[in-house]
Amino acid sequence: MYDNDIAVVGLAVMGQNLALNMARHGLGVTVYNRTWEKTEAFMAGPAQGASIIAAMDLKALAASLKKPRAVFLMVKAGSAVDDLLDELLPWLEPGDIVMDGGNSHFEDTTARVLRMRDKGVSFLGVGVSGGEKGALLGPSIMPGGPRQAWERVAPMLAAIAAKTGDGRPCTGYMGRDGAGHFVKMVHNGIEYGVMQLLAEAHDLLLRGHGMEARAQSEVFDEWNAGSQASFLLEITADILARRDALTDAPILDVITDTAGSKGTGLWTSRSALTLGVPVPTITAAVEARMLSNLRDLRRMSAPLLPGPRETPPPADRECLGRALFLATLAAYAQGFALIRAAEEAWGFGLDTSEIARVWREGCIIRAAFLDDLVHDSPARSDAHNILLSSAFDAHVASGQAALRRTVSQAANFGVPVPGLASSLAYYDSLRSARLPANLIQAQRDYFGAHGFERTDMPGVFHGPWEE
């Protein structure tokens, strides 16, 4: 008979590493995987000597845990979660807590919170970011659901989470229902955007400067300093320095130019459209991945579609670096604007300052400038866009000119930069006190009698379109 603190269900690499992380922090852990052979291999390998036991079935798993039980699911998002809950529920009791650490859609999580509540069991949707290494050494953890359930598991989550410079754990209560998975979804949307921006910067250095990978690595390493420093910049510099073990060519030379996805970027764009929040940098990144998968069409079209004839001059590395940082800020600004809009619409209890703190370490989009969003509360930040924060005034002032030059050069050279271009359009739209939407109102009224609003009086009016 055991009296373990928590169970981990699902032993893919993330599940294994989370279990090892928990055991390393003094928790008694039970593990279970649908395939017993995988459980055996884990117990005979990485788990040897750790405070981890294996359960052959869910009945044994439930019996091994102290009450109220805490069960952490690390299985594929979607129907697999519901199927597992069906199997697990007979062995749970009122007061037990189930946590879903996968990339589930936040609406599915909300439905599961209600479903499990009817059974007396608390369900938490827990966003986990940091990849395999983060799961082992300390991820960023974004839990949402019943607050009382979170309070009971908070000490365990805090123990295994990444820590900021002042020792605070990168986890905190995100809000009710599907709030944790909503925040993780937005995190992933920002991740899409920043990865695309970095890929475009790499492409401009390659095509605009003819810069080989090792030299590019040094440039990205230079950019990864001060407030611009980030995990994604760091790993991009490292990737560009790596060579293929089989051919000794730069590793990017042997990787196909197509990019897959698991759908969280698309979910972000869809949620933004539902809430009426523009996230053009994120959406451009989603569409860029779609275009990358049209590889056969692109290869067929390359010699057939004409492009510019001029030879690109060397790319201005300093200019490109400033442009990249402002575009990155724009991606984060769009994500935080979406979070604010979700809070206004659904009342999850989301706190953007707390989210910025939780993202400061451990997660894929961790970045130095997030400190400014945690510690500074400038009056202008209340305008729902971080680009208006005084903390970024200097970066915005220098970055906007650099971004214009970069996008203009890319267009002249025929190098696609959808992320950078969308970021610039987003920035210029924000700074436009007047946009041409009045013409769109007039067009809609002309063909559909939808009416329009006037600048000089309230009400809905129709134009003089009839002859």
Rounded-to-integer distance, Cα 187 and Cα 164, Å = 18
Question: Amino acid identity of 98?
Answer: V
Active-site residue flag, 184: yes
Which one of 184, 343, 344, 354 is the catalytic residue? 184
Contacts 24+ apart (CB under 8 A), 41-49: 42/11, 42/16, 46/16, 46/20, 47/16, 47/19, 47/20, 47/23
Query: Torsion over CA of 295, 301, 307 and 310, rounded to 10 degrees?
Result: 70
Active-site residue flag, 37: no
For 383-433, where are the alpha helices, taking DSSP H only? 393-413, 418-430
Angle between helices 317-346 and 264-275 (to 10 degrees): 60
Rounded-to-integer distance, Cα 117 and Cα 121, Å = 5
Closest CA to 161 of 172, 176, 173, 150: 172
Q: Which residues, including other chains, have CB under 8 Å from residue 238's CB and lie 6 or more apart?
A: 217
CA angle 365, 371, 377 (to 5 degrees): 125
- Burial zone of 94 (CB within 10 Å; 0-12 exposed, 13-18 middle, 19+ buried): exposed
Which one of 151, 191, 218, 310 is the catalytic residue? 191
Q: Are strands 97-100 and 29-32 parallel, antiparallel or unpaired?
A: unpaired
Closest CA to 355 of 148, 153, 154, 143: 143
Active site residues: 184, 191
